Amino acid sequence: MDARRREVEWRDLRALSRPEVVHELLISAPWLAGSLAAATREQYAPALACSFMFFLTGLRQARRVF
């Protein structure tokens, strides 16, 4: 194996600390709240943008699960 690969600190499969777990669980909450609040006020463009960000943070959360 290449010596350079042994020097790299791999972080993808490491355990998460409690604050990191809480952060990962709550990272999409503001976007969901923003989307619902904007849609309630019939401001659909901001609601769409927040929904898109909610979707992206969901993908990020799923990646961390794997």
Q: Are 35 and 54 a contacting pair, CB within 8 Å?
A: yes
Q: Mean pLDDT throughout 56-61?
A: 91
Using pLDDT thresholds of 50, 70 and 90, give the confidence band for residue 5.
confident
Distances (CA, A) of 36 to 21, 41, 42, 52: 24, 9, 10, 12
- Model-level pTM? 0.71
Question: Residue 46: which pLDDT band, with cuts at 50, 70 and 90?
Answer: very high
Query: What gap in Å lies between CA 44 and CA 30, rounded to an integer?
Result: 17
31 and 50 in contact (C-beta within 8 Å)? yes
